[in-house]
Amino acid sequence: MPVNLQNAKHYTWGKGCDGWYLLQTPEITIIQERMPPRTAEVRHLHHLARQFFYVLRGVGHLEVSGRVHELIPGHGFEVPPGTPHQMLNRSESEVEFIVVSHPHSHGDRQVAPE
């Protein structure tokens, strides 16, 4: 069955942010996320998971090891395991993006110092 935002497992996080599991296996997780204006994810790292963030709509700011990268639609960024990172929406518009984690990132998250 084709997957879309209407039939994917949905969850909420942070201050009004949404996530949809497009694919969830022990080997890989693909999530589409939506962040309202002026929201941020908690800065964290994953010990095992390698992640790739890909912006679909809006402008996201991905802080990786202290350096902020602006991601516009069609741009992505890889975050290796063990690397502190944080997705931020500094704009007045929503940002939507895809996060791919290999292996899955559940239970592999640790809050990182600011």
* In-domain check, residue 4: no
Domain that holds residue 63: 9-111
* In-domain check, residue 39: yes
Number of domains in the chain: 1
* In-domain check, residue 3: no
* In-domain check, residue 97: yes
d(CA 26, CA 91) in angstroms, rounded, equals 34
d(CA 67, CA 52) in angstroms, rounded, equals 16
Nearest residue to 46 via CA among 86, 78, 81 = 81
* In-domain check, residue 1: no
pTM of the entire structure? 0.94
* In-domain check, residue 31: yes
Q: What CATH number is attached to the domain comprising 88? A: 2.60.120.10
User: Would you give per-residue pLDDT tens digits along the chain (114 residues)?
Assistant: 899 999 999 999 999 999 999 999 999 999 999 999 999 999 999 999 999 999 999 999 999 999 999 999 999 999 999 999 999 999 999 999 999 999 988 888 899 877
Q: What is the pLDDT of residue 77?
A: 98
